Structure 1
Amino acid sequence: MRINLSIFAIIIISCTQATINNNKDDFQPNDIIKNYNAVEVGLDILFQEKINIINRKKIGLVTNHSGVDKYGKPNYLKFIDQKNIDLKIIFSPEHGLFGEGAAGQKLEYNQIENMPKIVSLYGKNKKPNLKDLKEIDLIIYDVQDVGARFYTYITTLGYIMEAAAKTNIKVIILDRPNPINGNIIEGPVLNIQNQSFVGYYPIPIRYGLTMGELAKMIIGEKWIKQSPDLLVVPMKNWSRKMWYDETGLNWTKPSPNIPDINTALIYPGMCLLEATNINEGRGTEKPFKRFGAPWINNRTLTAKLNEKNLPGVEFKAVTYIPKDISGVAINPKYKNQICNGVEIIVKDRNRYQSVKTGIAIISQIASDYPNLFEISEKRMKKLWGINDLSIFKNINNNAIDRSSIKDFLALSKKYYIYN
């Protein structure tokens, strides 16, 4: 079947075509998981054991390209295949249903043949229109997250739950792994006065929960205005100590600039560079793994960072040229300019502290280039989560107050689904 998909960017309208086959007999699975103890995600469990809870229901599905089963089959095709299920509408978060949108790119969809209506929640509106919920009985949320507070999929989750509560619609979360494990928590807890689309809940930057656990905590702690009836379909065989590459599941990049697990690990600290005039690797094949600017002496900076002996990481001097990459990077910082940069090489991911590393990088550049380095305090407060930004200006202090993290850890344990 042929699909005409119209993608509307903020200024430029571009059209692309994609082909989707909704015939299960023609579906070609990814490499079948050989490990019988491999993790089974909520989507697998729903269809294997709990299909009765959605039989004869009119469904709204919140998902994107990451919502696949253990064989790589998209969830919406699985729902379409079921005669007793009526998939009425699909809502897509930032980056679109097919992962085709770059960061910040606004998307809208025309009607696609033999598919339900598709509504972008990163277009004209970030919240679902209540009119779109009138004909559905329940909402199913199935999106792979990365475990960082400013990754916008978790804000979309909150908006969906608020809308569901207003319309008395049940929400089902099909749980998926936290790819950077559930044992490590980093960064300050967001002060609610800095609430935004990139920080909607009072949680640390790296919060150590699955999407299902976070949803339970959001409702339990009353972090949204109204709460719906919630059901989490948990995974099987997942534990908090697991990294994604230990699950037996195939990796599907959750967004265009998170191509692999190492990038997901580095992201919670390096995304802070988005509030500065340092290129964070966007526009290259290694987003967030490298950073730089034309005016940096990268060899000197590399030496200083290595002298800090930060846990689990080494640094290497590199040069690169950020470029526009369709569907991945639009107008990256210093586009088409030579950037003198540094590459992050994680040597021990169990010791590596992403947020601490990000602070060390920013504070070192701020110290070395006081007349060239720029930071948007408004933007940084949204990402960092609190108003005190002094940590980025003091080269000798990259310690984060642990008391709020300890409080969050104690609170969040009430909502754990997995050991």
Structure 2
Amino acid sequence: MTKGKQGQVRSGADQLPEWAASHLNGKRIGLLTNPTGINREFVSTIDVCASIPSVTLAALYACEHGIRGERQAGVLFEDETDPRLGIPVISLYGKIKKPTPEMLEPVDVVLFDIQDLGVRFYTYMTTMLYMMEACAAAGKPFVVLDRPNPLGGEVVEGGLLVAGFESMVGSWTVPFRTGLTIGEFARYVNDRQERRCDLHVVPLSGWSRDMEYPDTGLPWLMPSPNMPTMDTVRVYSGNCLFEGTNLSEGRGTTKPFEQIGAPWIDGDELSREVNALGLPGVHFHPVTFTPMFSKHQGALCNGVHTFVTDPEAYKPLESALHLLHTVIRMYGDKFEWIPPFKEGRKNFIDYLTGSDRVRTTLHEEAGLRQLVHDWAAEAEAWKQERAPYLLYPMTGSEASR
């Protein structure tokens, strides 16, 4: 973490009134946001937009979890009317997830302000991409109010999504951890679209790539109901893989993604086995929990709690692969991959990981080693591919690579 820089960072939302005065005068704007759309004075971007006299806030667009973060993961919803502003709240997480031309008719320009995690399968990135495609087709500008990558902008982890495995939890060929801000990601994908949108990014001020979110001085609001703290964010890009299995990933507890388990796991035995691997920067401790909802609701689960002991050394994805491999090796008679949700669809783990390699090879020691090797190589190659799209320079050792 960078020391001595707390309180200096201004997000795109903090700079919106000044930017709007010179770029959006007289426009009807639509805002794609959620509760994380907030400035450093704790004013929501919805209210910021509504208070700018030179623009008209004509519509809100809501993605997974709703405009106020009121819905759990996977809960679909339809269009609503904002009770306070009396303007439409158009759902992008109902029957329709890709905006239609009719959805964009009320506005001249669309703004995006959502805190993401810099992780490929966090669905906000996909919703943004769909909106960019819709704006390109409609000939309407798209503006990203940039926000920090919570884990900084230097470290990346592979592997890349394979063509044919696109979904809401992976819409583009990028690694698990992109090492990009949401604005940089928009620049990258827009440059590769068949039809580019008129993209504008209102950049961060005072942010450097070696800063984690607590260094910024910006208020932290949960990006989604199961992402309460930075401890959760730190393990999410790895432990989210357990969503594709019949183990609980801790949803329905106060420690989602930090706790992994099932009724048939022996937590002492599992923690002893995985700790013996000597994985850097992490310790797995036996834990018992009872999910209040989601998988194994109401059942006593045993498993492990992931403690990050050295954030700089910890590799969440590699650690999760080793943990998952160990579970399969020890409990192969009870372990299962979640089956496809619909006929003709792939297993959910395939969408999460961007290919079928984890499902088809991780049970073998050689498969695990090959995955770790290949994904590390893909992450290194990605660093070069992302370089032209960085809005903020590299720092420290990474800058000289």
Tell me the TM-score normalized by structure 1: 0.87
Matched to 1:297, the amino acid is D
2: CA distance between counterparts of 1:97 and 1:135?
Answer: 18
Alignment of 1:54 onto 2:24? yes
Identify which of 86, 107, 112 aligns with 1:141. Answer: 112
* Structure 2 contact 6–215 (Cα < 8 Å) conserved: no
Q: Which residue of 2 aligns with 1:333?
A: 295
In the alignment, structure 1 residue 392 sits paired with structure 2 residue 362: yes
SS in 1 for 2:303: strand
Give SS of 1:400's match.
helix
2:140 to 164, 169, 180: 169
SS of structure 2 residue aligned to 1:45: helix
The answer to whether the 8 A contact 1:364-1:395 is kept is no
Distance (Å, rounded) in 1 between the aligned partners of 2:185 and 2:380: 17
2:131 aligned partner? 160
Matching residue within 118, 124, 127 for 2:98? 127
How far apart, CA to CA, are the structure 2 residues paired with 1:361 and 1:408?
25
Q: Is the 8 A contact 1:64 1:98 kept in 2?
A: yes
How does 1:61-72 map onto structure 2 within 5 Å? 61-72=31-42
**Contact conserved, 1:290 with 1:344, CA < 8 A, in 2?**
yes
Looking at structure 1, the residues matched to 242 and 18 of structure 2 have their Cα atoms a distance apart, in angstroms, of 43
Match of 1:286 among 246, 255, 269: 255
Could you tell me how far 1:51 is from its partner in structure 2?
Answer: 2.7
Q: 1:72-91 counterparts in 2 under 5 A?
A: 72-91=42-61
The equivalent residue for 2:10 is: 40
Deviation of 1:242 (Å): 0.9
Cα deviation, residue 193, structure 1: 1.4
Name 2:397's counterpart in structure 1.
none
Task: Give secondary structure in 2 for the equivalent of 1:270.
Answer: helix
Deviations 1:177-232 (A, max 9, x none): 0001111111210012111111100000111000110000001123xx42211111
In structure 2, list runs of 5 or more residues that go unmatched. Answer: 339-345, 394-401
Which stretch of structure 1 is more off in the superposition, 156-165 or 35-44? Answer: 35-44
2:231 aligned with 1:268: no
Cα offset for 1:108?
A: 2.5
| Whole-angstrom distance in 1 between the partners of 2:48 and 2:7 | 23
TM-superposed deviation, 1:164: 0.4
The reply to whether residue 412 of structure 1 matches residue 382 of structure 2 is no
Q: How many residue pairs end up in the alignment?
A: 377
SS at structure 1 position matched to 2:143: strand
CA distance in 2 between counterparts of 1:36 and 1:405 reads: 29
For 1:121-270, what aligned pairs fall within 5 Å after superposition?
121-222=92-193, 225-270=194-239
Q: Which residue in 2 is equivalent to 1:342?
A: 304
Separation in 1, partners of 2:356, 2:298: 34
Equivalent-residue separation in structure 1 for 2:348 and 2:35 (angstroms):
29
Which residue identity is paired with 1:284?
Answer: T
Q: Verify the 8 A CA contact 2:17 2:52 in the aligned structure 1.
A: no
Of 104, 127, 133, 2:74 maps to 104
The one-letter code matched in structure 2 to 1:141 is: F
Shift of 1:394: 2.6
What is the aligned counterpart of 1:304 among 273, 277, 286? 273
Aligned amino acid, residue 268 of structure 1: S
Asked if the contact 2:7–2:215 (Cα under 8 Å) also holds between the matched residues in 1, the reply is no
Which residue of the partner structure matches residue 327 of structure 1?
none
Q: Deviations over 1:311-361 (max 9, x none)?
A: 11111111110013xxxxxxx111100001210111111111110111011
How has the CA–CA distance of structure 1 residues 193 and 109 changed in structure 2, closer, same or farther, with 3 Å as cutoff?
A: closer
- In structure 1, C-alpha distance between the alignment counterparts of 2:299 and 2:365, rounded to whole Å: 28
Amino acid corresponding to residue 105 of structure 1 in structure 2: V
Contact 2:5 2:215 in 1 (8 A): no
**8 A contact 2:235–2:257 mirrored in 1:** yes
Q: Secondary structure at the match of 2:322?
A: helix
C-alpha spacing 1:36/1:362, structure 2 compared with 1 (3 Å): closer
**C-alpha contact 2:158 2:176 (8 A) present in aligned 1:** yes
Query: Match for 1:416: what amino acid?
Result: L
Tell me if the contact between 1:188 and 1:400 (Cα under 8 Å) persists in the aligned partners.
no
Q: Is the 8 A contact 2:222 2:229 kept in 1?
A: yes
User: What amino acid does structure 2 have at the position aligned with 1:145?
Assistant: D
Please tell me whether the aligned partners of residues 6 and 216 of structure 2 are also in contact (alpha carbons under 8 angstroms): no
Query: What is the CA–CA distance in structure 1 between the aligned matches of 2:300 and 2:362, rounded to whole Å?
Result: 25
Contact (CA 8 Å) 2:21, 2:54: kept in 1 or not? no
| Partner SS for 2:155 | coil
Cα deviation for residue 395 of structure 1 reads: 4.2
Distance 1:338 1:44, change over 3 A: same
- Aligned-pair identity in percent equals 36
Q: Indicate conservation of the 8 Å contact 1:155/1:200, yes or no.
A: yes
Q: CA RMSD in A?
A: 1.6
Gaps of 5+ in 1: 1-33, 325-331
